[in-house]
Chains A and B, each alone.
Chain A
Amino acid sequence: MGVDGTHEAKTTYREAMREALREALRSDDRVFLMGEDVGRYGGCFGVSLGLLEEFGPERVRDTPLSESAFVGAGIGAALAGMRPIVEIMTVNFSLLALDQILNNAATLLHMSGGQLPVPLVIRMTTGAGRQLAAQHSHSLEGWYAHIPGIRVLAPATLEDARHMLAPALADPDPVLIFEHGSLYNVSGELLPPDAPVDLDHAAIRRPGTDISLITYGGSLPKALAAADELAAEGISAEVIDLRTLRPLDDEAITASVTRTHRAMVIDEAWRTGSLAAEVSARIAEGSFYELDAPVERVCSAEVPMPYARRLEEAALPQTADIVAAAHRAVD
């Protein structure tokens, strides 16, 4: 990892995230990290490994097993002028803190007539694919994207994992960062940013002309793999990484559909009432006359995520599903 100017060609999503935390803790002493096992254990996914030793227990704080309490404490700290980064193990557990997130973090600015901004960052793991069964594997970020007053990010690349945290901390409003559990081990060369990462725009991860694959987070690698397969068959798929789930980048979606005239949304959440539903509806609202095929959706099976590996694979959107849906739209 690139400590003290040394440069390594390869890094992982986990290390990129850790580097972002380290930079945040170093550059602003109002920043501190708290959550279950973030200190001595190094975070349940190893993201904060070594940070306790480097920054001490004042800045990297283990908390009791009470999501509502430590998220609430984070809100209080933010109101008091700190810049807390709160880690919740998985999105499933975040529901225990939903009252704090929705009723306090997201609403205080409004209810105080603009007097009480809540500059809080909450990180949590989301998604399936690691055989952690139903209570650790769901993709509920779409529920949070429903809530006005917060910003919802889903970094899918090494670069976004490394560079989204700083602007998230700079945002005066609550920001939720969803890290897909299957991405932590993804490794690659971390490219230096050619521009500050902005939290308002989707990214075209692969340009194409025949169909727009609109996705985010853990589904991005699958969409890119599907685009490779489709390219081999002569179908040019454009891959849009939403990056920010709230607010959605309508312009990017519209522009892409205007280019390709066909759209597919890939979302690991359940299809009913999902972010995929929202994106599809916006395409229908904003780009109806550009559509040359019905919008396709590739989502998870509407079941509690199974533990058994084969069943879990079957329940999740897979590259083959994306390719098949693309054929339905294009052929």
Chain B
Amino acid sequence: MAEFTMPSLGADMDEGTLLEWLVGPGDLVHKGDPVAVVETAKSTIEVECFDTGTMTELLVEPGTTVPVGTPLALIGPTEERHPVRQVPKKARPTEPSAPTSPPPEPAPVPVSVPSAGSRRGHIEAGPLVRHLAEHSGVDLETLHGSGPGGRVTRTDVEAAAAARAAPRPPRVRATPFARRLAAELGVDLATVTGTGRESTVRAADVRQAAPGPAAPASPVPTGATPLRPSAQRPSAARPSKDRAAAMRQAIAGLMSRANRDIPHYYLSTTVDMAAAMDWLHEHNRRSPVGERLLPAALLLKAAALAAREVPELNGFWTDDHFTAGEGIHLGVAVSLRGGGLVAPALHHADTMTPLQLMTALKDLVARARAGRLRGSEVSDATITVTNLGDQGVETVFGVIHPPQVALVGFGRVVDRPCAVDGLLGVRPVVTATLSADHRATDGAVGARYLTAVTRLLQNPEQL
């Protein structure tokens, strides 16, 4: 019997409020499934389960604030479940459901099927059903049979086929220019109110939505989708003023500690971005709007790959020694609309393509601003990048996020006169900075890191 406890979601958290259970007693959970929503001073976070088993007992009522480490629920061995409700693997983002109710109409696991493993062996289905499934491209193994003995019926197949063909969320009506502008400014068109004919979103609407506060962005579905879409979160109900104050307090505490405890050293270099920008423009010209990249994608990728080359900067300073991070989990500083800052992690950023990074970044920013980050994202970052380029500054020297040992800063890509091959030319350049923990590394290591970033950005096609 394992305990599911209130996790520490970052160095600045000592207690948290359980807002909501995403599972109920008797539910089967897997390691990594989001099971509860916890509110910290900074954000509302979906907490993943650390064990696989059955939720036997929920110990804490939603709304209760408990210290880190307090048991929240008990998880029993898998065999104990009976009857079992399977936690659906896939979110259904368009299906409305009350935030605290269990998933509606859970498909019952057939009684005749003892375990998830053996179920794949044989599917109870008649020839007509098999033919229908084949015809409509439905994989029988993914279906829960509703017929006698768990048999897959014709209705099941038809329902699955219909669900696949279900209309996607309606395409936002926007002008081509507005669409392009939204992509450039990182504005989610779904959140913009159109003022054109038939509510078409126009450039002016996008510009208006870009800097100011807007409706929370809806999350982009990814492989690890939360159980329920964040749009249904009653986030507006929370008093935002207290919230902002609490967040300020949390940031104040953490940053004071960082500046007090961490002897920072700072390095800065100017990176020639000509090759990177050329590549980016070429890529964007060839790509549909949804796949266009911002310079940030390349900068993040370069920062991640450089961290792989210089592992001394990728990890944590705890108990007076350095522990290297397992994987490159790039923390990304995201400023929130109501003020404040979070730095959730892009897991294994060094293995992602720039396009994947871009998609992941959009998703992360949207969820950060909607207050729907996941626990692992909040606590796992091994090195943080702050990119204030879109705010117009050229150089940012950041404060390290404890217990990490380094923070990379990128400014705006600007055209500057620059000596190239003995001649003066105008080149796009970006200032890359490094704030690093002098306890963990010395300047030479930091210099190697920035040199690696510079070198990587000269071969953008290899990023």
Contact = CB atoms under 8 A, between A and B. Distances in A.
Interface of A: 261, 288-293, 328
A291 B179 CA distance: 10
Given A290-B176, A292-B203, 12 more contacts: A261-B203, A288-B176, A289-B176, A289-B177, A289-B180, A291-B177, A292-B175, A292-B176, A292-B177, A292-B202, A293-B202, A328-B197
A292 B202 CA distance: 6
Contacts of B263: none
A292 B196 CA distance: 10
B196 A293 contact: yes
7 contacts: A289-B180, A290-B177, A290-B180, A291-B175, A292-B202, A293-B175, A293-B196
B207 to A, nearest CB: 11
A120 B57 CA distance: 95
B178 interface: yes
A139 to B, nearest CB: 30
Closest 10 CB pairs of A and B: A292-B177, A289-B180, A292-B203, A292-B175, A289-B176, A291-B176, A288-B176, A261-B177, A292-B202, A290-B177
Nearest to B201: A292
A290 B178 CA distance: 8
- Interface centre among A288, A291, A292, A328, by most B CB within 10 Å? A292
A211 to B, nearest CB: 13
A328 B198 CA distance: 12
Nearest to A293: B175
A261 B196 CA distance: 14
Interface string B289-305: 10000000000000000
A184 to B, nearest CB: 40
Interface string B187-206: 00000000011000011000
A289 B202 CA distance: 12
A226 to B, nearest CB: 20
Interface in B157-184: 175-180
B341 to A, nearest CB: 33
Contacts of A293: 175, 196, 202
Contacts of B175: 291-293
A296 B76 CA distance: 68
Contacts of A289: 176-177, 179-180, 289
B6 to A, nearest CB: 49
A328 B175 CA distance: 14
A290 B181 CA distance: 9
Contacts of B203: 261, 292
A151 to B, nearest CB: 32
A34 to B, nearest CB: 50
A328 B196 CA distance: 9
A330 to B, nearest CB: 10
Contacts of A261: 177, 203
B209 to A, nearest CB: 15
Contacts of B179: 289
Contacts of A290: 176-177, 180
A261 B175 CA distance: 10
B179 to A, nearest CB: 8
Interface string B424-435: 000000000000
B172 to A, nearest CB: 15
Contacts of A288: 176
Contacts of A328: 197
Nearest to A284: B176
B296 to A, nearest CB: 21
A65 B78 CA distance: 101
A297 B118 CA distance: 66
Contacts of B196: 293
Contacts of A291: 175-177
A113 to B, nearest CB: 38
A249 B362 CA distance: 39
Contacts of B202: 292-293
A299 B289 CA distance: 33
Nearest to B175: A292
A288 B289 CA distance: 12
Interface string B269-304: 000000000000000000001000000000000000
A292 B175 CA distance: 5
A328 B179 CA distance: 20
B364 to A, nearest CB: 26
